[in-house]
Structure 1
């Protein structure tokens, strides 16, 4: 794995994530003394999307990027599952997923893809 990013609340790590060897981003949350693991992955080539899945492989959200050519900023259509809507950590997972998607798109733009 490459660089690991940690999100802390004071001194406590509440979330960390890193890109895996296969290009997926592995997320680990540590909220209320419970560790949960998720995978953020890129799907497609021309019709791109990103998917966040839980440990069981259930899709929690799908993000479809759409570039705004005037401002060169990506907007995302985000579809969440009923499962994600019940999660206490829903908001932080949404924010981290957005960060991961923007990071991935920046990386691909830098590579000329």
Structure 2
């Protein structure tokens, strides 16, 4: 089903357009992005048989939206007996200090 070599490339311009379209009608303080450290992602990817990631949209008991990240094997099965990730640091307040042009494109 999967090989781990699937292409997910997107141009910077297309990425900006996709993100801008999503954020167009969002409140200023609504979460725009989540940061995950490379160690958390690496632990998932290093599991035996893991060839990729699946990212689930999820909701905390507080009502806040989040993501749950699992490893995926070549048959497309989630690898749930190893490390998973959930606690991403939300932007805001953990936004890029340089006002990332992906999140807030400059006006020319």
TM range (shorter): under 0.3
Q: Which has the higher contact order (CA 8 A, sep 6+)?
A: 2
- Structure (1/2) with the larger strand percentage: 1
* TM-score, length-scaled by structure 2: 0.28
**Larger-Rg structure:** 2
